[in-house]
Structure 1
Amino acid sequence: MNLLDVLRREADMLAMSAIGQPPHKGVPACPGLNLGETVRHVGGGYRGALAWIRLGREPVAGEWQDHPAPGEDPLEFMRSGAEAVIAELEAHDEEEPCATWWPDRQDYGFWRRRLAHETTLHRMDVQGAAGMEVGAVDDEVAVDGVDEVLTLWLGHKLDVLGVRGSRDSLVTIQVEDDLWLTRCGPQGSAAWRVVDPEDAHAADAQVSASPMTMYRWLWGRLPDRMVTTVGDDDAIAQLWALLRLATK
């Protein structure tokens, strides 16, 4: 799987899906978010990633452009941001060291992965807002996206935010033959792939779905009825609530 190719393809699809669409159209899966703000957010995110890379640290306000300039078309703002960050990522091997916001991965591969999933997620948002059929995601990409949201956002971002669960619970995430265990509670949150399926039997609950459905559900884009749940509903509700705080 070449995540740079995924990023390039998804950025093109997002732009094409937004052409001619009124910016005020709401994203059905995210009340309060509209198509125009989504396009703007993606364009700003590309520039924010470039600032991280070029500065070698987290950029502060004013060191990167997060909104179109006066008179600049938001779609062109998004497209030019995509072109710039893709060119930067193409110029470096994914294993080459690079500043990121995840201590576990300080290389260009982090940004390839992060921006590929950011773009894929918001491409689906734009298509939903435009009233289009949401295009499918390759299973391999979706499974990698499941791993990213669990390990990076649940397992790292919540700790950075200082957010904790109210009770100890283990929830298994199952996507066909792939399994993850998530632990949430007063001591923090973590997620890891399960090597031995027997380890999943210790969980309080399990959530199962196809790759694309789980990908979208974990990001809050699909309701609970789209996934299969077994076990402690409160444990699943806590996982869901913590994911919303991590990914907002």
Structure 2
Amino acid sequence: MMRGQALIDHGRLFEALEAEVELLAGVVHDAALPVPVRMCPGWTVGEVLRHVGSVYRLVVAWLRGGQRPREWQREPRAGESVEHFFRSGFAELAGVLAAHDPGDPAPTWWPADRTYGFWYRRMAHETVVHRVDVQDAAGLTPTVVADDIAIDGIDEALALWFGHRLPLIGLTGTRDGQVAVRSGGHTWIARAGPTETVAWRCSEAEAERAGVTVTGRPHDVYLWLWGRNVPGSVTYDGADEDAAGQLWALMRLATR
């Protein structure tokens, strides 16, 4: 029985994480570090790579120290390239994750998943999203995210960022709206309004009662939720299209 909240095996998530690290590092070889990143306004390719390398180190310090650290290495050392900073950060993270079963208890920022598996999942999706950012900045068509990874990413985006992160930072919708999200044979409900922000995996019968349904292939829905695809990349079906727009806007606030 798989523990934690991921929809797929943690070994598969780690495999995807390794592949995404190589994709991201490979793009940097072909794109100048000062190139601006459209999807992360104010950042360059080099800054995105530095950010991801810093996040890897943050997680390592968090796991080793048992709580969110106040200090960790955020910048390359003198004479160290940004790519080396990124790769060495991942190597350290990979070592820490490999030393523990995904079901082992671990400090996290989500009460629903206090296991090492949370970080397998979180770091895989962190890297996917920023790989897409850098490929776009380099003028490349982003590599399609595999269906199983994208479906798990949709689930993480809705459960962790929409359903947990937004209430944590005190942000709510301005109107009541219920959105069904359908992709790859899976369905979720995201409900928002002035008094609640919740999301859950649902049945088809529950989805039929939503004011609007958002559908698309897993890659497109995943990136739409992360604000990396324009609204036209998915399909709205139902009278309450404003509810879908609110979901997209709230996701942008949750993940900024």
TM-score > 0.5 by shorter chain: yes
In the alignment, the residues of structure 2 paired with residue 135 and residue 68 of structure 1 have an alpha-carbon distance, to the nearest angstrom, of: 28
Equivalent position of 2:135 in the other structure: 127
Residue by residue over 1:193-228, the C-alpha shift from the partner in whole angstroms, topping out at 9 and shown as x without a partner, is: 11x201112211111110001111100001011110
Alpha-carbon distance in structure 1 between the residues aligned to 2:39 and 2:236: 20
Match of 2:57 in 1: 47
SS at match of 1:137: coil
Q: TM-score, normalised by structure 1?
A: 0.95
Which runs of 5 or more structure 1 residues have no equivalent in the other structure?
Answer: none
CA contact (8 A) 1:29 1:125 kept: yes
Distance 1:13 1:206 in 2: 33
Report the alpha carbon displacement of residue 127 of structure 1 after superposing the two structures with TM: 1.2
Q: Is the 8 A contact 2:125 2:153 kept in 1?
A: yes
Do 1:29 and 1:222's aligned partners in 2 also have CA atoms closer than 8 Å? Answer: no
Counterparts of 1:150-229 in structure 2 under 5 Å?
Answer: 150-194=158-202, 196-229=203-236
Q: Please tell me the root mean square deviation across aligned C-alpha atoms, in Å.
A: 1.2
One-letter code aligned to 1:94: P
In structure 2, the residue matched to 1:10 is: 20
Q: Which amino acid aligns with 1:209?
A: G
CA distance in 1, matches of 2:56, 2:151: 23
Question: Does the aligned pair in 2 maintain the 1:17–1:126 contact within 8 Å?
Answer: yes
Alpha-carbon distance in structure 1 between the residues aligned to 2:75 and 2:34: 17
Amino acid at match of 1:39: L
Structure 2 residue ranges without an equivalent (≥5): 1-8
- Alpha-carbon contact 2:174-2:194 (below 8 Å) kept: yes
Select the residue among 37, 44, 48 that pairs with 1:38: 48
Choose from 47, 58, 61 the match for 2:68.
58
Instruction: Give the letter for the 2:37 counterpart.
Output: V
Alpha-carbon deviation of 1:164? 1.1
CA distance in 1, matches of 2:50, 2:140: 20
Q: Is the 8 A contact 2:151 2:184 kept in 1?
A: no
Matched, 1:113 2:107: no
Show the counterpart of 1:242.
Answer: 250
Residue 4 of structure 2 aligns with which residue?
none
Alpha-carbon deviation of 1:72? 2.0
SS for the counterpart of 2:105 is: coil
CA-CA distance at 1:20 after TM superposition = 4.4
SS at match of 2:80: coil
Q: Percent identity?
A: 44
Count of aligned positions: 245
Closer/same/farther in 2, CA of residues 186 and 84 from structure 1, 3 Å limit: same
The answer for the alignment partner of 1:230 in structure 2 is 237
